[in-house]
Chains A and B, each alone.
Chain A
Amino acid sequence: MTVSYDNSKIIFDGIKAAGIKSVSALPETWLGLLLQRAESDPDVQLVQVAKEEEAVGVAAGAYFAGTPHALLMQNHGFLGAINGIVSLAQLYHVPLCMLIALRGHWGEPYPWHTRGGIVTEAVLRALGIPFEYAREPAQVAKQIREAWTFSQSSLSPVALLLTRDLMED
């Protein structure tokens, strides 16, 4: 397995095309190439956190500041950030545009990812967080733009799930 160089670039370009100027993230394999781009791009401010829940706070700060912001994390980070999502973002109607690497799903060879992968969709549904799967490189820029737009109009967290089809070659 290798992480898709081309699709990482397409996703990063999609983030920029959506008008997003700031990204908070916690690195993981599928997000590596994307984060390298964010790190070296002077037009994007990257805030790397120690735990994904912090990124919910950083995102709220960016929202109050009026800077378009997206969160990049893997699904296990999303699972670890739930209280922040519920008790900050949802409680206060703070939008979150979350791009989540969906590890542990169809085709997953690593046992440690599987439980998180299996429950992610059910947890998103339980929390009332709208989500879409991103599978097609030709679609993903539009999906990012739409995720951003919907987060802002609904004042809600939304999630775009980055799948294996998209992230691996």
Chain B
Amino acid sequence: MERARCLEMIYSELTDTLVVTIMGASAQELYNLGHRENFFYLQHAMGLASSIGLGLAMHLPAERVVVLDGDGSVLMNLGTFATLARYRPRNLIHIVFDNGSLLSTGGFDSHTTSGITDLAAIARGAGIEHVAAVDTAVGFGEAFIAALERNDLSVIVAKVAAVGPERYGMDLQLPENAFRFRRWIQHRKRATEQTS
């Protein structure tokens, strides 16, 4: 299964969902499907995508938040699973694309390559109730739909091939991404305040 294919499958569900990605290949593959103002690409600071997701989800209970994480990135912040479990934001879906690789930095093996380290087991052990481990496109799609319908903190660990985009580059400066992402959220907040 390829991550780009998984992203394609869920892209149409992400029109008004806050999405936070990790750096490199994940960010680029989502961007290549078509950038939206509700996408934030964390192009460095490995490990913190899910922490941003937690901050968003806890402070915006009316929004849905999807985090697109990676094995190498989440291994830098395993405590995040315990923090997520403790606060259990019901509007957060944390997807970890486990390609067993530090793909975006030259494709070195990660700790999950050999299969010894089980990120789904780590998430469960941290206290997250809804954790799915999938390795097929169908399984991924089903796990994502189940997470959408569940309305509870959900982690999906998706085993994917260690392949990425052919070219890198975005027509978007990093602070610009942050400014516009925030503006999109504030517009929506004002719009819902006016209608309610």
Q: Cβ of A54 and Cβ of B57 under 8 Å apart?
A: no
From A29-37, A90-98, A136-144, give the one contacting chain B: A90-98
B32 in the interface (beta carbon within 8 A): no
B77 in complex: contacting residue of A53, A65, A87, CB < 8 Å: A53
Closest to B53 in A: A61
From A8-16, A44-52, A107-115, A126-134, give the one contacting chain B: A44-52
A84 vs B58: C-alpha distance when bound (angstroms): 20
B150 in the interface (beta carbon within 8 A): no
A58 in complex: contacting residue of B51, B174, B179, CB < 8 Å: B51
Q: Cβ of B58 and Cβ of A61 under 8 Å apart?
A: yes
Closest to B190 in A: A66
Shortest distance from the beta carbon of B150 to any chain A beta carbon, whole Å: 21
Q: Cβ of B86 and Cβ of A59 under 8 Å apart?
A: no
* Residues 36-92 of B contacting A (Cβ, < 8 Å): 40, 42-60, 77, 79-80, 82-83, 86-87
Q: Cβ of B79 and Cβ of A84 under 8 Å apart?
A: no
A51 in complex: contacting residue of B44, B50, B77, B175, CB < 8 Å: B77
B1 in the interface (beta carbon within 8 A): no
Output the residue of B42, B52, B82 with the most chain A CB within 10 A.
B52
Shortest distance from the beta carbon of B166 to any chain A beta carbon, whole Å: 26
Q: Cβ of B177 and Cβ of A54 under 8 Å apart?
A: no
| Chain A residues near B175 (CB-CB < 8 A) | 91-93
A94 vs B177: C-alpha distance when bound (angstroms): 11
Given A45-B59, A47-B58, A61-B53, verify A84-B45 contact (CB < 8 Å): yes
B35 in the interface (beta carbon within 8 A): no
Q: Cβ of A49 and Cβ of B83 under 8 Å apart?
A: yes
Output the residue of A24, A47, A60, A91 with the most chain B CB within 10 A.
A60
Shortest distance from the beta carbon of A67 to any chain B beta carbon, whole Å: 4
Output the residue of B57, B174, B177 with the most chain A CB within 10 A.
B174
| Chain B residues near A83 (CB-CB < 8 A) | 45-46
Q: Cβ of B56 and Cβ of A53 under 8 Å apart?
A: no
Shortest distance from the beta carbon of A147 to any chain B beta carbon, whole Å: 19
Closest to B77 in A: A54
Q: Cβ of A91 and Cβ of B77 under 8 Å apart?
A: no
Q: Cβ of A92 and Cβ of B177 under 8 Å apart?
A: yes
Closest to B61 in A: A65
A48 vs B84: C-alpha distance when bound (angstroms): 10
* Residues 176-194 of B contacting A (Cβ, < 8 Å): 177-179, 181-182, 185-186, 189
* Residues 72-127 of A contacting B (Cβ, < 8 Å): 83-84, 87-88, 91-94
Residues of B within 8 A of A (CB): 40, 42-60, 77, 79-80, 82-83, 86-87, 174-175, 177-179, 181-182, 185-186, 189
Q: List 5 A-B contacts (CB under 8 A).
A: A22-B59, A47-B54, A64-B178, A64-B182, A88-B52
5 nearest A-B pairs in the assembled complex, by CB-CB distance: A61-B55, A57-B51, A50-B79, A65-B59, A57-B48
Residues of A within 8 A of B (CB): 22, 24, 45, 47-51, 53-67, 69, 83-84, 87-88, 91-94
